[in-house]
Structures are given as structure tokens and as C-alpha cells.
């Protein structure tokens, strides 16, 4: 690399580090607001958040950075594979920021703020028609964003790209169609089988004891508590604030399920954030690869481990010790069947491993049509209910458990939903590869040793950050093309046995 190029690359990385630090500040502010900010703090927090967003935009679209990116993009061979990835990643963010006009960004922010407030009210009132004008506005704005960002085949590509860089709508559609055709008959078959007991999980679990158990579990999963925290918030989330500081949250209700599997889910996200490469932190390829890959980590620990019979061979006795009055007479097998109960239901967030992806696919199919203009917002409930009936054999009785249940569209998260299903699919593929690489894995789980699996994920997934696009990361980690095969095998085997399919 010649002197001039080296200087330019150094400057580029310094600007990227500054942007990464701003992102960390925003993350900390967000965590603080969700977890412990006093109620009246919101009056000062809102303008502060807007100022930091403005600074991020200013720095990301700075002409000097644009010059550096343009110059470095002409020399990617000189920069080597890693340097080229750095330029690719910041270039992508720079172009998105530059191409979307400030007025449009502000309009989305404003409509989000109005729409989420109205959505909250109308969901409570089960009143979709009153929500229509704001949702129409949001869809119109997101379509404008897609047009501003630009796309080749499908405007939805431009929205998807924000959450799943490089993914193409037509590939995702093919994948999810495949999954849908696989799942619908299984859901129908299971719906005809007897429902196992699960009432013993539903109440009487003390929050303080759940918290203690949760802390024990996340450390068993290999989360380093000297480089992170566990707190309580209304909506669980994980924030990788910066190197050495990853924070997850959970919540406790009277039942065991929400708290414990919520914690396992967030621990999956948190392990990913905690084990991103320390050296790459503060560079463009430092962050997690994509939302799909992120979700693969949470779902792997929540489901492939957290609803695995072998895992509970090791840990169920511990749960019984925490809650003897509730569980001393419940056998491991009864517990295992209860935590793997499959039942068509209206609410995505309460759904099981088998039906979950159908909830996602329904949303994905609908939002593609909304963005392409083939579906009008006012016709949404009818389309929702028709699809729902065909997927689950049920018709939602009201909008609050139907089309109004998720905040995503009100919040402008269009293109986000499919990453949940990609996560489930990737999770199965990673787990299958880990099992091939470590034939003793199930035995390790049964002995309570989870660190081998964690280390495999660190080595194959976590430490790479954004070095490779998601599909390439999957190839490198698993040795195979991204595919739904492992997911199907997993579901067929596990639930075939559980429900005698």
C-alpha cells in the first residue's frame, strides 16, 4: 500500500471509530432510558437523542468521508480482504445516509412517533380503521425511503437491506415459501393431537427466585458478568454498548416461561455481542453481521439448547431446587413436553417453534404487497384473516390479536420481520454443523457443559463481526450453502417424536 493510500485508510478508520463511538453513546442512552431513567427525564432525553442522531448523520455524510470512501473503493485490491470489507460496510451505511433526504428521515421519525402512540391506543380499542391513515402514511414514506436508497429488482430489497445486508427479497421469499409449505401440514397434524399438560408452569414462580436462577443460567451459558449486566425492563432486549460492556434485560411474571426463556433468548444475543472481536470493535466490520444472524444466536440458545431434552437433563434438577413446591412432582419428561407444547395461537410472541415462522411468513407476504402497492392498507385485516385461516385454521376474533398485535409497522420497521425466520433457519444450520464438528455435543449438554458450544459459535460466528455477509458467514461456519434442510430435519425429528407424527 502506498503512503497516500495508507494515510487515507487511517483517516477513514479514525472517522469510522468516531462513528462507532457515537453509536455506543446512543446505545447507552437507549439502555438507560429503558432500564432506569426517571419518568420525567424524557423531556431532556428526547432532544439529546435527536442531537446525537443529527451528529451521526453529519459525520456519516461528511464530504471528507465521502472522498475517502470513493478513493478507497478504487483500491480495494491494495487494501486486502479485510480492508475491502471495511470500505464495503461503511460505504453501504454512508450511501444509505446520503441518499435518504433529511426531510424524509424527519418525516419517518415524526410519523413513527405519532403512529406508535395511535397504535397503542387503537390496539387497546381493537380499532383498525382509526389506524389506517397513519399506517398509509408510514407505508408511503417507507416506499419513498426505498426509492431514495435505490434497488434493482424490488423496492422491498432496499428496506430489507437495512436489517439483513445483501439479502434479496426474491431469495428470502423462496426460502420462506419453502418453509411455509413444510410447516402448514405439520401444524394441522399437531392440532389434532392431544395437548400435553403445561399448567404447572403458569403461576406461582417468585420473581426474586427466577432472577437468581436466571443469573445462574446465563453464567452457565458462558456469559461474562464482569463484562456485562442483567437488568429488568418492560420489553427485554440486549445492547452491546461497546467492548467490555454488553447488557441484557429480561422480565419476570408469575409464570416461569416468559422470564426463563426470555433470559435464554437474550443471552444468545448477549453472547454474540460479548464475543465480537475486540480488535475489530470501533471499525465498520466490528458489529454483528445482520439481524438474521443475531436472531440465530438468540433462537439457538432459547430453542435448540433451551428446549432440548439433554440440556434439561443437566439443569432441570436445579430448576426443581429453586421451585420445589411447583416442580418436585413434575418429571423431566413432563417438563420437557410442557416447554415444547405446540398449539396454533393468535399472538406471534407467545407462539412455539413450529408455528412461529408461519406468523412471520404471513407478515412478510403482507408487507411486500404493501410496499409494492398491490395491497391497500384498508384491506389489511381481510387479507390478514384470510391468510391466518389458511395457515393456522383459525380466524382472529379481533384486531388486537390480529393485524394490530405488533409495533413494527407503526414504528417503521418494514423489512424487519423476515429476519426472525432467517434466524430460526440459520440457528438450525449452525447447530447441525456444531453437532457434526463436536459429535459429543448432546452428551456435553446432558452433563451441563455448554462452553464447548459457546466456543464453537465464538469461533465460527461471533468473532467475525461484519467481515462477511450473512450467507457467506453461514457457508464458512457450516461448510454448506444456506438452506432450510437442517431446520426441516430438526422440526420433523423433534416434533415427530413429541407428537407421534
Taking CB under 8 A as the binding criterion, the range among 49-57, 135-143, 145-153, 297-305 that sits at the site for a copy of itself is 49-57
Rg of the chain, C-alpha, whole Å: 23
Q: Does 282 bind a copy of itself (CB under 8 A)?
A: yes
Binding mask 193-232 for a copy of itself (x = CB under 8 A): -------------------------------xxxxxx---
177 catalytic per annotation: no
We find the least distance from the C-beta atom of residue 476 to a copy of itself, in angstroms, to be 27
Q: Given its phi and psi angles, is residue 302 left (phi above 0), alpha (psi -120 to 50 degrees) or beta? A: alpha
237 in Cβ contact with 363 (< 8 Å) = no
Q: What is the DSSP string of 4-67?
A: HHHHHHHHHHHHHHHHHHHHHHHHHHHHHHHHT--GGGHHHHHHHHHHHHHHHHHHHT-HHHHH
We find the least distance from the C-beta atom of residue 90 to a copy of itself, in angstroms, to be 16
We find the least distance from the C-beta atom of residue 493 to a copy of itself, in angstroms, to be 40
Tell me, rounded to whole angstroms, the distance of Cα 102 from its chain centroid: 27
User: The dihedral of CA 117, 120, 124, 127: what is its sign?
Assistant: positive
Between 45 and 114, CB nearer to a copy of itself: 45
Of 5, 55, 411, 438, which lies in the binding site for a copy of itself, with binding defined by CB under 8 A? 55
Q: Does 54 bind a copy of itself (CB under 8 A)?
A: yes
Q: Map grid coordinates 470493535 to a residue.
A: 281
We find the least distance from the C-beta atom of residue 164 to a copy of itself, in angstroms, to be 26
Of 4, 6, 7, 41, which lies in the binding site for a copy of itself, with binding defined by CB under 8 A? 41
Q: How far apart are CA 117 and CA 105, in angstroms?
A: 19
- Which cell is 52 given? 446525537
Taking CB under 8 A as the binding criterion, the range among 120-128, 240-248, 297-305, 375-383 that sits at the site for a copy of itself is 240-248
Q: Does 64 bind a copy of itself (CB under 8 A)?
A: no
Of 5, 11, 32, 334, which lies in the binding site for a copy of itself, with binding defined by CB under 8 A? 32
Of 281, 307, 318, 463, which lies in the binding site for a copy of itself, with binding defined by CB under 8 A? 281
Q: Map grid coordinates 405488533 to a residue.
A: 406
Q: Does 292 bind a copy of itself (CB under 8 A)?
A: no
Among the listed residues 299, 282, 265, 287, the one whose alpha carbon sits nearest the alpha carbon of residue 428: 299
Q: Does 331 bind a copy of itself (CB under 8 A)?
A: no
Task: Output b/e per residue, 442-470; b: 16+ Cβ within 10 A.
Answer: eebbbeeebebbbebbbebbbbbbbbbbb
Q: Does 48 bind a copy of itself (CB under 8 A)?
A: yes
We find the least distance from the C-beta atom of residue 277 to a copy of itself, in angstroms, to be 13
Angle at 331 between CA 325 and CA 332, to 5 degrees: 115
Q: Which residues are catalytic?
A: 266
Would you tell me which residues interact with a copy of itself (CB under 8 A)? 17-18, 21-22, 24-25, 28-29, 32, 36-45, 47-48, 51-52, 54-55, 224-229, 241-245, 278, 281-282
Amino acid at each position: 500500500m502506498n503512503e497516500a493510500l495508507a494515510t487515507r485508510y487511517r483517516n477513514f478508520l479514525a472517522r469510522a471509530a468516531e462513528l462507532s463511538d457515537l453509536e455506543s453513546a446512543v446505545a447507552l442512552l437507549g439502555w438507560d432510558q429503558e432500564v432506569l431513567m426517571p419518568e420525567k427525564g424524557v423531556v431532556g432525553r428526547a432532544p439529546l437523542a435527536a442531537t446525537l442522531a443529527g451528529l451521526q448523520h453529519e459525520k456519516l455524510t461528511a464530504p471528507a468521508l465521502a472522498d475517502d470512501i470513493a478513493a478507497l473503493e478504487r483500491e480495494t485490491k491494495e487494501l486486502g480482504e479485510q480492508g475491502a470489507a471495511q470500505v464495503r460496510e461503511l460505504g453501504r451505511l454512508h450511501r444509505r445516509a446520503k441518499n435518504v433526504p433529511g426531510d424524509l428521515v424527519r418525516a419517518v421519525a415524526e410519523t413513527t412517533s405519532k403512529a406508535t402512540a395511535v397504535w397503542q391506543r387503537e390496539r387497546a380499542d381493537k380499532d383498525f380503521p382509526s389506524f389506517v391513515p397513519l399506517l398509509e402514511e408510514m407505508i408511503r414514506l417507507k416506499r419513498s425511503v426505498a426509492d431514495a436508497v435505490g434497488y434493482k429488482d424490488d423496492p422491498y430489497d432496499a428496506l430489507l437491506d437495512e436489517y439483513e445486508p445483501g439479502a434479496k427479497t426474491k431469495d428470502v421469499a423462496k426460502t420462506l415459501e419453502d418453509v411455509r409449505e413444510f410447516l402448514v401440514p405439520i401444524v394441522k397434524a399437531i392440532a389434532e393431537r392431544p395437548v400435553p399438560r403445561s399448567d404447572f408452569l403458569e403461576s406461582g414462580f417468585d420473581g426474586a427466585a427466577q432472577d437468581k436462577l436466571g443469573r445462574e443460567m446465563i453464567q452457565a451459558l458462558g456469559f461474562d458478568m464482569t463484562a456485562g449486566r442483567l437488568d429488568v425492563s418492560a420489553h427485554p432486549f440486549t445492547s452491546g454498548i461497546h467492548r467490555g460492556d454488553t447488557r441484557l434485560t429480561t422480565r419476570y411474571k408469575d409464570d416461569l416461561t416468559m422470564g426463563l426463556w426470555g433470559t435464554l433468548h437474550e443471552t444468545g444475543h448477549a453472547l454474540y455481542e460479548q464475543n465480537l472481536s475486540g480488535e475489530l470493535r470501533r471499525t465498520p466490520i466490528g458489529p454483528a453481521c445482520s439481524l438474521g444472524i443475531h436472531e440465530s444466536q438468540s433462537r439457538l440458545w432459547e430453542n435448540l439448547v433451551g428446549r432440548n431434552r439433554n440440556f434439561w437433563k443437566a439443569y432441570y434438577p436445579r430448576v426443581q431446587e429453586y421451585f420445589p413446591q411447583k416442580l418436585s412432582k413434575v418429571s423431566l419428561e413432563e417438563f420437557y413436553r410442557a416447554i415444547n407444547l405446540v398449539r396454533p395461537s393468535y399472538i406471534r410472541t407467545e407462539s412455539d417453534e413450529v408455528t412461529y415462522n408461519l406468523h412471520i411468513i404471513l407478515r412478510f407476504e403482507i408487507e411486500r404487497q404493501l410496499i409494492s402497492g398491490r395491497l391497500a392498507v384498508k384491506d389489511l385485516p381481510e387479507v390478514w384473516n384470510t391468510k391466518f385461516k389458511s395457515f393456522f385454521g383459525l380466524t382472529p376474533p379481533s384486531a388486537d390479536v390480529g393485524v394490530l398485535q405488533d409495533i413494527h409497522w407503526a414504528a417503521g420497521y418494514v423489512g424487519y420481520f423476515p429476519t426472525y425466520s432467517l434466524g430460526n433457519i440459520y440457528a438450525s444450520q449452525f447447530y447441525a454443523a456444531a453437532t457434526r464438528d463436536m459429535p459429543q455435543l448432546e452428551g456435553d449438554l446432558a452433563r451441563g457443559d455448554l462452553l464447548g458450544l459457546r466456543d464453537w459459535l465464538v469461533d465460527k460466528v461471533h468473532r467475525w463481526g461484519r467481515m462477511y455477509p450473512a450467507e457467506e458467514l453461514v457457508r464458512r461456519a457450516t461448510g454448506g450453502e444456506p438452506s432450510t434442510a437442517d431446520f426441516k430435519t430438526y422440526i420433523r425429528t423433534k416434533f415427530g417424536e413429541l407428537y407421534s407424527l
